[in-house]
Chain A
Amino acid sequence: MATLIIAEHDNSILKPATLNTVAAAAAIGGDAVLLVAGEGCQAVAGQAAQVAGVNKVLLADNAAYGHQLAENVAPLVAELAKSAGFEYVLAPATTTGKNLLPRVAALLDVGQLSDIVSVESADTFKRPIYAGNAIATVKSLDAIKVITVRGTAFDPVAAEGGSASIEAVTAVHDAGLSRFVGEEVAKSDRPELTAARVIISGGRGMGNGENFALLEKVADKLGAAVGASRAAVDAGFVPNDMQVGQTGKIVAPELYIAVGISGAIQHLAGMKDSKVIVAINKDEEAPIFQVADYGLVADLFDAVPELEASL
Chain B
Amino acid sequence: MLTMQAAPVGLDINAKRQNSMKVLVTVKRVLDYNVKVRVKADRSDVDLANVKMALNPFCEIAVEEAVRLKEAGVATEVVVVSIGPKAVQEQIRTALALGADRGIHIETENSPESLSVAKLLAKVVADEQPGLVILGKQAIDSDNNQTGQMLAALTGLSQGTFASEVKIEGDEALVTREVDGGLQTLGLKLPAIVTTDLRLNEPRYASLPNIMKAKKKPLDVKTPADLGVELRAHTELLSVEPPAERKGGIKVGSVAELVEKLKNEAKVI
Q: Using a CB–CB distance below 8 Å, which chain A residues touch chain B?
A: 69-71, 74, 94-96, 98-107, 109-115, 124, 128-142, 175-186, 192, 194, 198, 222, 230, 239-241, 246-247, 249, 254-255, 272, 275-278, 284, 289-298, 303, 306-307, 310-311
Tell me if A198 and B252 are in contact (CB < 8 A): no
Tell me if B159 and A255 are in contact (CB < 8 A): no
Residues of A within 8 A of B185 (CB): 180-183
Bound state CA distance, A254 and B186, in angstroms? 36
Tell me if A110 and B140 are in contact (CB < 8 A): no
B126 to chain A, nearest CB (A): 15
Looking at A111, A128, A240, A298, which has the most chain B CB atoms within 10 Å of its CB? A111
Main secondary structure of the interface of B (DSSP, over half): mixed
B45 to chain A, nearest CB (A): 8
Additional 9 contacts, C-beta under 8 A, given A135-B240, A183-B183? A95-B162, A99-B161, A105-B150, A131-B37, A132-B243, A136-B237, A180-B186, A181-B186, A272-B246
**Cβ-closest chain A residue relative to B118:** A106
Bound state CA distance, A275 and B141, in angstroms? 26
Tell me if B159 and A103 are in contact (CB < 8 A): yes
Tell me if B143 and A183 are in contact (CB < 8 A): no
A134 partner, pick from B147, B187, B243, beta carbons under 8 A: B243
A184 to chain B, nearest CB (A): 5
Residues of B within 8 A of A140 (CB): 234-235
Interface residue? B228 (CB, 8 A): no
Residues of A within 8 A of B140 (CB): 130-131, 246
What are 15 A-B contacts defined by CB distance under 8 Å?
Answer: A102-B147, A102-B149, A106-B115, A106-B154, A109-B115, A112-B114, A134-B240, A134-B241, A180-B185, A184-B182, A240-B164, A289-B248, A293-B250, A294-B252, A295-B252
A128 to chain B, nearest CB (A): 7
Main secondary structure of the interface of A (DSSP, over half): mixed
B39 partner, pick from A104, A134, A194, A278, beta carbons under 8 A: A134
Q: Using a CB–CB distance below 8 Å, which chain B residues touch chain A?
A: 31, 36-37, 39, 46, 113-115, 118, 140-154, 156-162, 164, 174, 177-189, 197-199, 233-243, 246, 248-252, 254-256, 258-259, 261-262, 266, 268-269
Bound state CA distance, A105 and B161, in angstroms? 16
B188 partner, pick from A99, A110, A177, A249, beta carbons under 8 A: A177
Tell me if B143 and A131 are in contact (CB < 8 A): yes
Residues of B within 8 A of A178 (CB): 158-160, 186-189
